Amino acid sequence: MPRLEARPQPSRLMFYATPLIAILFTLAAGGVLFALLKKPPLEALALIFIRPLTSVRGLAELTVKAAPLILIAIGLAAGFRAGVWNIGAEGQYTVGALAGGSLALAVYPVTGWWLLPLMSLAGIIGGAAWAAIPALLRSRFNANEILVSLMLNYVAVFLLGSLVHGPLRDPDGLNFPESRLFQTALPLIVPGTRAHVGFVVALIAALVAWVLMEWHLLGFQIKVLGQAPGAARFAGFSEPRLVWLCFLVSGGCAGLAGLFEATGPVGQLVPALPAGYGFTGIIVAFLGRLHPAGIVLAGLLMALTYIGGETAQISMSLPSAATAVFQGMFLFFLLASDLLVNYRVRWRSHTQPAPAGHTVPDMALPRSTSAQPSAQPGE
Amino acid sequence: MGPMFTRLGRLAMAVLIATLVAASLAGPPALGQSKAKVSFVYVGPIGDHGWSYQHHQGLLALQKEFGDRIETSFVENVPEGPDAERVIDQLAASGSNIIFTTSFGFMNPTVKVAARYPNVKFEHATGFKQAPNLATYNARFYEGRHVIGLIAGKMTKTNLVGYIGSFPIPEVVMGINSAYLAAKSVNPNVKFRVVWVSSWFDPGKETDAAKALVDQGADILMQHTDSPAPVKYAEDKGIFAFGQSSDMAQFGPNAQLTAIVDDWRPYYIRRVGALLDGTWKSGDVWDGIKQGTVALSPWSKKIPPDVVAMAGKARDAIAAGTLHPFTGPINKQDGTAWLKARETASDKDLLSMNFYVEGMEGALPK
């Protein structure tokens, strides 16, 4: 029977190389998949990965799709490093959009230069407020924050649905469940395309996160809490304070992303506004190794697979399910290679037991230790 | 990656040359165009056997009708959220001449893209915003609902009809009212119970809703959602149901009494034909049983002959224009008057309907 054994010293090089390895495996397996569907594999891969990068329009769309993913993942990564598992970004995104959007609708049709900053602020506060619920439940009552933050996603989506069916519904919209179009819109960064300032804000957020994590005491505290909660307590770092901070920051980022999505590409509140960004953001955070630069690249890559998947649908009638399978394979290969970086496979049945206290890699992955056993994923 | 580029480049060059040659051989027609690229955006998968499936039948009919004169493409499973505009824009940017966006939630994205591409024609299903290059079209599904309401009223034994709704928008609300009024006209004791699933296509939720309704005693199911799951559930439970959008008999050979079939083929052929002739104009089309856009699939053998005769008569009367499903006197649920005796509802009233008629139980979600 093969068994897994923790590697005493996982390779740092491999840790960063696994996304590339996963990409190569995905390209190969994807090629086989497309060949089985009787589509020319090389052309299909070129359509997905290269065609969108060959036009200004494609690049602009890439930033539009990547902006919310990056912004959300940057916020989540801080918490994930500290072992604080906020799975509720989708709900925080939704409430952020609701808060900022309601503000615009409340003052409609009044508008001015001040409106967008105020809406953004409302979006951040809305998202942070929604994240404060699991923060309170975890820090005060030791509740499992994975569960409560996850469940609050559904509450938020239904809240949006009921509000656009009721008080926020467009009075001139023949009762369709949508708000009015907002009287203001996000500024565009490339005229003639849909690329908006949200992407610039996401990049700035990544830069700020990088500085904080690498150069500020806060980043150090977060990392220590994630990797050695006992040491963090011993050093006098307040765990509840860090839990609160991680939730408020990630909730605020998600809320701002939601507000940008509502004010930018969509232009109104619609029931389908939560399009899964909060969940994809989790994938982006881990794909980017919880590092700001990695997250920016990962966000762009995930966006590329969506846009490329559509290109392949349009140009070669590739079914949408095939592109979803393709994305799934990518994540599968990434997780599989992650596992093999941290563990090695032993084929003999009578090996020595794994060393008791194996070294955790220097970054918080989901299996890292945490102060609350109940707060670990997979339990 | 080099060889791939060359290969793509060569391919692109070949396509370009082929198009140029084809164009020069065909010569410029008087008004229209010799070739057109026709694109569709679907909210569900083409295999939903409901709404999107029927629109895709329209695309297939176009290929058959126009052959080499058109090139078609489609994107399926497009959510009605932030992604919709990008998909429509991408279709417009990749050379489409006409784009059909086939779900209500695509309205504002379609309006925005249409403004950016004035030379591309757009057609949006079930919306209400038009532009010189953006037409809207819809079907009078409530006419079909009247017919199935009559059948349900006659055939329910528990006097409870279960109704699976998607969103409480006018199109769905008018369907419920139409079916209920028809059922009550032949069975004063009939009740309708509605469960909302907040989705157009979610087989799991649709099955849950069907189960909840059957557990409460419903022995006939109606749906305004796109998957065949409720019909399948009715089959398993040995009760009756009505197919939605397309003939779902294969999922419930015993359960399905008939189905309201959306037949978009004639409309699409007409509109693409107009584009090729150069006579395409924007507008708003709301066709029904008369034009064949709304049809009823073959009656089940389980319907007694007298009910078949009654349903057929109602269908023919609607087609002939002698019967309007909303003919007064009709009161609203709260008892206030809506239509006076012999008065029929205006299209404007129907398209903004946000109330149940008198006798319906429950409240519309607000």
3-state helix, strand, coil in chain A (%, to 5): 70, 5, 30
Residues of B in contact with A311 (CB under 8 A): 90
Q: What is the Cα–Cα distance from B245 to B262, expressed in whole angstroms?
A: 5
Query: Among candidates A95, A98, A91, which has minimal Cα distance to A167?
Result: A98
User: Average of pLDDT values for A69-82?
Assistant: 94
Cβ–Cβ contacts within 10 Å for residue A236, how many?
7
Core vs surface per residue A28-58: b (16+ CB within 10 A) or e: ebbbebbeeeebebbbbbbbbbbbbeeeebb
Which residue has tokens 């389980």?
B302
In this complex, do A273 and B105 lie within 8 Å of one another by their Cβ atoms?
Answer: no
Question: Looking at the partner chain, which of B1, B5, B90 has a beta carbon nearest the beta carbon of A314?
Answer: B90
Domain count, chain A: 1
pLDDT bin (cut points 50, 70, 90) of residue A15 is confident
Q: What are the CA-CA distances from residue B295 to residues B233, B261, B266, B288, B299 (Å)?
A: 23, 5, 12, 8, 12
User: Average of pLDDT values for A184-188?
Assistant: 91
Note which residues in 223-262 of chain A have CB less than 8 A from chain B: 261
Choose the mutation target among A266, A280, A305, A318 for the interface with B, i.e. most B CBs under 10 Å: A266
Q: What is the Cα–Cα distance from A200 to A186, expressed in whole angstroms?
A: 12
Note which residues in 255-294 of chain A have CB less than 8 A from chain B: 261, 265-268, 270-275
Residues of A in contact with B87 (CB under 8 A): 310
Which structural domain range is residue A95 located in?
Answer: 3-344+356-372
- Looking at A230-244, A252-266, B23-37, B101-115, which range is the least confident one? B23-37
Q: Is residue A377 part of a domain?
A: no
Q: What are the CA-CA distances from residue B167 to residues A164, A176, A341 (Å)?
A: 12, 9, 48
Q: Is residue A9 part of a domain?
A: yes
Q: Decide if pLDDT at A378 tops 50.
A: no
pTM of the model: 0.82
pLDDT bin (cut points 50, 70, 90) of residue A165 is confident
pLDDT bin (cut points 50, 70, 90) of residue A1 is low
Question: Looking at the partner chain, which of A176, A265, A313 has a beta carbon nearest the beta carbon of B75?
Answer: A313
Q: Is residue A378 part of a domain?
A: no
Distance from the A86 Cα atom to the nearest Cα atom in chain B, whole angstroms: 23
Residue B159, CB-side half-sphere exposure with 13 Å CA sphere = 7
Q: What is the Cα–Cα distance from A213 to A208, expressed in whole angstroms?
A: 9
- What's the CATH number where A312 sits? 1.10.3470
Q: Is residue A137 part of a domain?
A: yes
Q: Dmax of chain A from CA atoms?
A: 75
Q: Is residue A363 part of a domain?
A: yes
Question: Looking at the partner chain, which of B4, B77, B87 has a beta carbon nearest the beta carbon of A42?
Answer: B4
The CATH number, out of the four listed (3.90.180.10, 1.20.1250.20, 3.40.50.2300, 3.40.50.880), of the domain defined by the range B33-140+264-287: 3.40.50.2300
Q: What are the tens digits of pLDDT across the range A289-324? A: 899 999 999 999 999 988 988 888 888 888 888 888
Q: Looking at the domain B144-261+295-351, which fold is it?
A: Rossmann fold (3.40.50)
Give the number of residues written for chain A: 379
Q: What are the tens digits of pLDDT across the range A46-71? A: 888 898 999 999 999 999 999 999 99
Q: What is the Cα–Cα distance from B15 to B10, expressed in whole angstroms?
A: 9
Task: Judge if ipTM > 0.85.
Answer: no
Q: What is the Cα–Cα distance from B105 to A239, expressed in whole angstroms?
A: 45
Q: What are the tens digits of pLDDT across the range B180-238? A: 999 999 999 999 999 999 888 899 999 999 999 999 999 999 999 989 999 999 999 99
Q: State whether residue A317 sits within 8 Å of chain B by CB.
A: yes
Low-confidence ranges of chain B (pLDDT < 50): 1-6, 8, 11, 13, 16, 19-30
The first and second tokens of residue B125, run together, are 């299903």
pLDDT bin (cut points 50, 70, 90) of residue A370 is very low
Q: Give chain B's end-to-end CA distance (angstroms, integer).
A: 55
Secondary element (H or E) of residue B260: strand B256-262
Q: Give chain A's end-to-end CA distance (angstroms, integer).
A: 25
The radius of gyration computed from the CA coordinates of chain B, to the nearest angstrom, equals: 22
Which residue in chain A has the smallest CA separation from B90? A311
* pLDDT for residue A172: 81
* pLDDT for residue A268: 94
Listed in order, the ranges of chain B carrying CATH 3.40.50.2300 are: 33-140+264-287, 144-261+295-351
* pLDDT for residue B14: 52
Q: What backbone phi and psi angles, to 5 degrees, belong to B243? A: -70, 155
